[in-house]
Structure 1
Amino acid sequence: MELRHLRYFIAVAEHLHFGRAAKELNMSQPPLSQQIAQLEEEIGAQLFYRTNRSVRLTPAGEHLFREAKAIMGNLERATNQARKIYNGEAGKLAVGYTGMLSSGIIRILRSFKDRHPDVELILHRMSSAMQNEALAERRIDIGFLCPPIDGDALGFFHLYDYPFVVALPSSHPLAGDPSPIRLSELKGEPFILPPRGEESGYFDQIIALCNRAGISPDIRQEAEGVTTILSLVAADIGISIVSTAAAETQRDEIVYREIESADDAISLYLAWNRQDASPLAERFAQAAKAFIQDPDK
């Protein structure tokens, strides 16, 4: 049995008239009658009661009509979905992000999702180093990450710069001053920072920032993930230097202070596997770049 046999059968079953069905199918009536007869012979069941005046479905024909309509409907949905996936309009998109989902990342994701409702976004939190590997190995399709970036394997472009701020427990003596803080005031303070292996670029920037201010941070506690770091600051375990993206997390137990005379910022990029990118990943990258250029469009 071929799909055309089901199409022929459905047309006759809908019209209950061979002539009108043949006209819809753009064929003559005798070949259509022959095709239906062949279908009945192949199935081993009569599908229509035929008289000179009428055509009716048999019980077997009624059952096949229901099933054939479902089959053709499923086939149409499947082919439409396959076409959308091929064109980058549907499917699953694995997205890596580092640190936390900043408002900037969320706006990009929401903008894309609003325009592509058939795309399922699957988010994975991982370090920038892990994202470099995962993108190269096609375990994720898109990465929101910080330098260093493997430029040989990945396509990437700049999204945002997030300046650094100092995160203090609200009970800290320096928490009450709203003016920018001098890092030299933090000499001897217990610092909470991520392990260097988790975010080497982020870690090295903080150390360099402190060294230029004449201090070497006394790292008393290492913690993976900015959420954990901020929880420890809130618990008065120590202080930290975080990005303004992390500072979007407002908590009564934490005070954020700008850093005096510091232009340092952590840069966020979007990256994808340019050598083996899916149509969906390429579409997302194009949409993200357009959003950055004109967020209100």
Structure 2
Amino acid sequence: MELRHLRYFCAVAEEKNLTRAAEKLYIAQPPLTRQIKQLEEDIGAQLFIRHARGLTLTPAGEYFWQHAKAILEKADVAIENTRRLSEQQKTTFGIGFVPSVFYGQLTILVRDLRQKTESEIQLHDLKTGEQIEALKTGKIDVGFGRLLIPDEHIEQTVLFQEPMLAVLPADHPLAHEETTLEELAKLPMVVYPKNNPATPTFADICTSLFTSRGLKIHVSQQVNDLQTALGLVASEMGFALVSEQVKQISRKDVAFVPLKDKSITCPVIFSRRKNETGPMLDLTMKILEELVDNRLNGRFS
């Protein structure tokens, strides 16, 4: 089995149609059909169910598709990084992050890594669950998120707990003093990112703060990015909950309001591959240790 067989299979799995897959791959349909049949024979399992109007994946095909995509992504990352290294004599270091952690220590970490190394720093806006998969394929080397997601290949560390803030329109009656979840529950809520049944997100942290206290909420909008959420709040579509770092965003049309209950926090979580070492990772850990110590001791927020 070669990588091209996996690419053929993934194209067919995505298109659910041999003709469209062949067009996408720039090959004729008969050779593609033969390659798929040969792949099924090599594996010893039926991957597709043939219908008059297309194909559907068997349970075995669904399983193989998930792993085939991961293998191809890992191969593509290795090829791209090798090409970069050959052309520029530079290594790459990938950092995954959720937007709400990009307004504090992460920017300093990126700056210091750029100043102290010759490596090319690549930043990837990824939800925590996406970071776990990206770490396993090699797309990123470290990740900064909000959720603990158990995985035997990944090590996660809670760096610190960060206070949560309510975001309200600047002229809202609750915008000028500390507020409570009980008061906020009476208002419509803007949630980000959109809830995903497959993997938990920051949205689940926010909504569970209310439901765990027996409070009902009315979600007026679900959006995928932080800036859109803030824009909707400014438009009086509702309130949002954010981490303390987000108040670094300078907007005159919204107010970042502390919560009376100071125990309401969300974690900043560092993720890496287990048992991995190297100069870039060692330097990252050293810089990060100092940044977290500064944060915990109030030298900056």
How does the TM-score come out when normalised to structure 2?
0.61
- The number of aligned residues is 207
**Aligned-partner Cα distance in 1 for 2:150–2:139:** 16
Question: Structure 1 stretches of 5 or more lacking a match?
Answer: 1-80
Deviations 1:223-267 (A, max 9, x none): 112122112112222111111122221211001111112412111
| CA shift for structure 1 position 119 | 1.7
| CA shift for structure 1 position 160 | 3.2
1:191 maps to which residue? 189
| CA shift for structure 1 position 151 | 4.6
Label 1:282 to 1:155 Cα distance change in 2 as closer, same or farther (>3 A): farther
**Aligned-partner Cα distance in 1 for 2:95–2:212:** 36
Q: 1:139-150, aligned counterparts within 5 Å?
A: 139-150=139-150
1:105 maps to which residue? 106
- Give 3-state SS (helix, strand or coil) of 1:284's partner: helix
Aligned-residue RMSD, C-alpha: 2.6
Deviations 1:163-208 (A, max 9, x none): 1111001132222x32x11221223311100222297253233223
Q: Is the 8 A contact 2:99 2:125 kept in 1?
A: yes
Structure of larger gyration radius = 1
| CA shift for structure 1 position 216 | 1.4
| CA shift for structure 1 position 289 | 2.7
Q: 1:100-179, aligned counterparts within 5 Å?
A: 100=100, 101-116=102-117, 118-175=118-175, 177-178=176-177
Letter in 1 for 2:195: R
**Aligned-partner Cα distance in 2 for 1:157–1:217:** 31
Q: Is the 8 A contact 2:234 2:253 kept in 1?
A: yes
Question: Structure 2 stretches of 5 or more lacking a match?
Answer: 1-84
Question: Runs of 4 or more off by more than 6 Å in structure 1?
Answer: none
Letter in 1 for 2:152: D
| CA shift for structure 1 position 275 | 4.6
- Give 3-state SS (helix, strand or coil) of 1:245's partner: helix
Q: Is the 8 A contact 1:148 1:201 kept in 2?
A: no
**Aligned-partner Cα distance in 2 for 1:152–1:174:** 45
2:92 maps to which residue? 92
Q: Is the 8 A contact 2:185 2:210 kept in 1?
A: no
Q: Is the 8 A contact 1:192 1:222 kept in 2?
A: yes
Q: Is the 8 A contact 1:91 1:280 kept in 2?
A: no
**Aligned-partner Cα distance in 2 for 1:136–1:150:** 13
Q: Is the 8 A contact 1:138 1:273 kept in 2?
A: no
| CA shift for structure 1 position 277 | 5.6
Letter in 1 for 2:103: S
Q: Is the 8 A contact 2:109 2:284 kept in 1?
A: no
1:285 maps to which residue? 285
**Aligned-partner Cα distance in 1 for 2:91–2:287:** 16
Letter in 1 for 2:257: R
2:221 maps to which residue? 221
**Aligned-partner Cα distance in 1 for 2:257–2:275:** 43
How does the TM-score come out when normalised to structure 1?
0.62
| CA shift for structure 1 position 222 | 0.2
- Give 3-state SS (helix, strand or coil) of 2:268's partner: strand
**Aligned-partner Cα distance in 1 for 2:152–2:116:** 31
- Give 3-state SS (helix, strand or coil) of 1:123's partner: strand
| CA shift for structure 1 position 149 | 3.0
- Give 3-state SS (helix, strand or coil) of 1:191's partner: strand
Letter in 2 for 1:188: K
Question: Are residues 1:266 and 2:266 paired?
Answer: yes
- Give 3-state SS (helix, strand or coil) of 1:200's partner: coil
